[in-house]
């Protein structure tokens, strides 16, 4: 990672607005809308958001640095992570294996 | 018929086990957050107040890459939208007490903070109403404790170690990859994921950092039409 460009104050602001939005969404569903049924199309769209975003985040965190496309040690980490996920390894094994592989490639380079 | 002690014990122990597993995830969040420039207190505040893992990882991932406050906010908030859906699903199961009366507003507002992936999975797995409520509250409280404790320990460790040399930034894509399979079971999910990843990589050189993540959500439209 190229290092954060936000100041400590901006980061605190982010934490506050994000926490507010996340809590607002929880309350909206749990307290305001309650057990009502929603239109199926809306449900389908909402259910697909994590698939798109998580895949995009995997791609971004592996193959980009700021605005540049790069291929570096993190790609090795991702390959190791995918193998671990595929073998149904526990979360911590996936993460530690990916970090170790990335660190190893960096140490050798 | 009321649930037996054995049934209740099964639910409680499953919920506590999940709680400890999630504590380990929190360790990696603490490490990753600090490697992206958060202080120990900021990592802890995110876990305490935001309390929804994927959004926290997403926000710190965009910040670490040099994205703006609002792009970090946008991507993380989109990921938090699923908590709205969970809330709708859980309301009928959790917002009433054992006597069948609706919980006071204050209790429901407290419960709302705990409406996340894990509590939804554990609660909806129990069809008996009392067991469902037990599953919700035990999962919620054990997760809240381990998630915050894990974040603190991870962030403290991350703040004294060389995060780049140890590859802590690789915790981000690995964590997201580990969260993905649940969303790839359907053809729609796979289409949405593939489109999201391709759009993000293709746009990255041309838009400010973090914006590609926001636009990647169009993957949803490709998924829903497939």
For position A77, what pLDDT does the model report?
97
Q: Please state the φ and ψ torsions of residue B96, each to the nearest 5 degrees.
A: -115, 150
CB contact under 8 A, B220 and A52: yes
* Mean local confidence (pLDDT), B170-189: 92
Instruction: Please tell me the predicted confidence (pLDDT) of residue A32.
Output: 93
Residue A1 has pLDDT above 50, yes or no: no
Given CB atoms, is B213 within the 8 Å cutoff of chain A? yes
Q: Which two tokens stand for residue B78?
A: 């989109």
Backbone angles phi, psi at B184, to 5 degrees: -105, 10
Q: Would A79 be classed as within a structural domain?
A: yes
Q: What's the confidence (pLDDT) of residue B198? A: 97
Domain that holds residue A94: 72-109
pLDDT at residue A2 tops 60:
no
pLDDT tens readout for residues B198-208: 999 999 999 98
Q: What are the extents of the domains in chain B?
A: 5-170, 180-226
- For A75-104, what is each residue's pLDDT tens digit? 999 999 999 999 999 888 999 999 999 999
The string of pLDDT tens digits covering residues B93-116 is 898 888 888 899 999 999 999 999
> A34-72, pLDDT tens digit by residue?
877 888 888 888 889 999 999 999 999 999 998 899 999
Chain A residue closest to B106 (CA)? A31
CA distance B150 to chain A (A): 12
Residue B185 has pLDDT above 50, yes or no: yes
Query: pTM here?
Result: 0.88
Nearest CB among A16, A18, A56 relative to B199 is that of: A56
Do A49 and B220 count as a contact with CB atoms less than 8 A apart?
yes
Over 50: is that where the pLDDT of B77 sits? yes
The beta-carbon neighbor of B189 closest among A46, A48, A99 is A48
Q: Evaluate whether residue A106 is within a structural domain.
A: yes
Q: Note whether A56 contacts B216, CB cutoff 8 Å.
A: yes
Is A86 among the domain residues? yes
Q: State the best of A6, A8, A30, A68 to mutate against chain B, taking most chain B CBs within 10 Å.
A: A30
Question: Where does the pLDDT of residue B1 fall: very low under 50, low under 70, confident under 90, or very high at 90 and above?
Answer: low
Contact status of B123 with chain A (Cβ, < 8 Å): no
Q: How many CB atoms lie within 10 A of CB B110?
A: 12
Q: With a cut of 60, say whether residue A3 has pLDDT above it.
A: no
pLDDT computed for residue B223 by the predictor: 87
| CA pair distance B174, A95, nearest whole angstrom | 5
Q: With 60 as the cut, is the pLDDT of residue B81 above it?
A: yes
CB-based contact A46 B46, cutoff 8 Å: no
Count of CB atoms within 10 A of residue B165's CB?
Answer: 11
The answer to whether residues A79 and A61 touch, using CB atoms and an 8 Å cutoff, is no
Share of chain B above pLDDT 70, in %: 100
User: What residues of chain B lie within 8 A of the CB of A71, using their CB?
Assistant: none
| pLDDT at position B37 over 70 | yes
Within a domain: A36 = no
CB pairs under 8 A between A and B: 350
Residues of A in contact with B19 (CB under 8 A): none
| pLDDT tens track for B142-167 | 999 999 999 999 999 999 998 899 99
Give chain A positions within 8 Å (CB) of B209. Answer: 66-67
The rounded distance, in Å, linking the Cα atoms of B108 and B24 is 28
**Is residue A45 included in any domain, yes or no?**
no
Q: Among B52, B88, B170, select the one facing A22 at the smallest CB separation.
A: B52
Quote the pLDDT of residue A4. Answer: 56
SS (H, E, C) B100-155: CCECCHHHHHHHHHCCCHHHHHHHHCCCCHHHHHHHHHHHHHHHHHHHHHHHHHHH
Number of structural domains found in chain A: 1
Give yes or no for residue B38 having a pLDDT over 70: yes
Asked if A94's CB is within 8 angstroms of B80's CB, the reply is: no
């Amino acid at each position: 990672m190229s290092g954060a460009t936000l100041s400590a104050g901006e980061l605190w602001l982010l934490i506050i607005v994000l926490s507010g939005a996340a809590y607002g969404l929880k309350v909206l569903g749990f307290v305001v809308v309650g057990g009502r049924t929603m239109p199926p199309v809306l449900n389908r769209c909402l259910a697909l958001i994590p698939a798109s975003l998580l895949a995009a985040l995997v791609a971004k965190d592996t193959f980009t640095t700021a605005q540049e496309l790069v291929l570096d040690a993190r790609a090795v980490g991702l390959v190791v992570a995918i193998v671990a996920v595929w073998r149904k390894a526990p979360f911590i094994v996936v993460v530690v294996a990916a970090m170790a592989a990335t660190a190893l490639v960096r140490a050798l380079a | 018929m009321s649930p037996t002690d054995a049934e209740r014990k099964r639910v409680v122990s499953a919920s506590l086990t999940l709680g400890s597993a999630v504590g380990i995830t929190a360790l990696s969040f603490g490490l990753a957050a600090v490697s992206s420039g958060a202080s120990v207190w900021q990592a802890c505040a995110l876990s305490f107040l935001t309390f929804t893992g994927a959004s926290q990882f997403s926000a710190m991932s965009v910040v670490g890459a040099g994205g703006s406050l609002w792009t970090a906010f946008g991507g993380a908030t989109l990921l938090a939208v699923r908590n709205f859906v969970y809330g709708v699903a859980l309301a009928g199961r959790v917002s009433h007490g054992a006597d069948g009366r609706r919980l006071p507003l204050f209790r429901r507002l407290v419960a709302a903070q705990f409406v996340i992936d894990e509590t939804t999975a554990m609660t909806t797995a129990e069809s008996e109403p009392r067991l469902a409520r037990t599953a919700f509250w035990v999962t919620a409280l054990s997760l809240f404790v381990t998630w915050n404790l894990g974040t603190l320990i991870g962030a403290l460790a991350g703040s004294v170690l060389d995060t780049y040399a140890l590859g802590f930034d690789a915790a981000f894509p690995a964590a997201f990859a580990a969260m993905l399979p649940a969303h790839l079971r359907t053809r729609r999910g796979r289409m949405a994921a593939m489109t999201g990843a391709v759009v993000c990589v293709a746009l990255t050189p041309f838009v400010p950092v973090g914006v590609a993540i926001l636009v990647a959500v169009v993957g949803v439209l490709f998924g829903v039409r497939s």
